[in-house]
């Protein structure tokens, strides 16, 4: 398991985007179709989208306007991990991104922080174990 990316919620997408591009030399690339309705940007280091930016909708969302939104870990055992969450009674949601050959599971830690797990490769899209 390793850290996949960080998502930052911000009121000022343009300034935050410019900061990460300028300071870290990241490159913006298109985001998957499934999330185009959400205002934001994906910033890449090499082939990896390591910083995701989401536009804040303001103080009435229950989430601070400037906050780390979630942390994501890359894993390679989709079916087993999903079954483990279900067995433990942990509620989760799924997101399939076929153009990236990825599946994602989202769930919350006991006190509320959002955790995402990312599974990549052909096997994850068929539900089989992924090496």
User: Quick check: 77 and 85 in contact, CB under 8 A?
Assistant: no
Strand-pair category, 2-10 with 27-29: unpaired
Tracing tokens 């994850």 back to the chain, one arrives at: 124
Topology classification of domain 2-126: 2,3-Dihydroxybiphenyl 1,2-Dioxygenase; domain 1 (3.10.180)
User: Quick check: 20 and 43 in contact, CB under 8 A?
Assistant: yes
pLDDT band at 33, cuts 50/70/90? very high
Q: Domain coordinates of the chain in residue numbers?
A: 2-126
Q: Which residues make beta-bridge pairs with 108?
A: 114
Structure tokens given for 40: 């934001």
Task: Please give the Cα distance from 102 to 95 (Å, whole number).
Answer: 9
pLDDT (tens digit per residue) in 85-123: 999 999 999 999 999 999 999 999 876 789 999 999 865
Tell me the whole-structure pTM to 2 decimals.
Answer: 0.70
Q: Which residues contact 61 (CB under 8 A, 6 or more apart)?
A: none
Q: Name the more confident of 58 and 94.
A: 94
Query: Residue 56 has what pLDDT?
Result: 81
Query: Residue 131 has what pLDDT?
Result: 35
Share of the chain above pLDDT 70, in %: 84
């Amino acid at each position: 398991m390793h850290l996949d990316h960080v998502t930052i919620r911000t009121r000022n997408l343009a300034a935050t985007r410019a900061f990460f591009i300028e300071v870290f030399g990241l490159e913006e690339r298109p985001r998957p179709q499934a999330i185009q309705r959400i205002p934001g940007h994906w910033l890449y280091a090499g082939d990896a989208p390591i910083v995701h930016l989401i536009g804040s909708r303001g103080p009435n969302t229950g989430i601070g306007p400037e906050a780390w939104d979630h942390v994501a870990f890359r894993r390679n055992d989709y079916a087993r991990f999903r079954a483990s969450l279900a067995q433990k009674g942990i509620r989760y949601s799924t997101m399939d991104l076929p153009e990236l050959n990825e599946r994602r599971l989202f769930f919350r830690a006991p006190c509320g922080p959002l955790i995402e797990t990312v599974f990549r490769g052909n096997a994850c899209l068929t539900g089989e174990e992924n090496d």
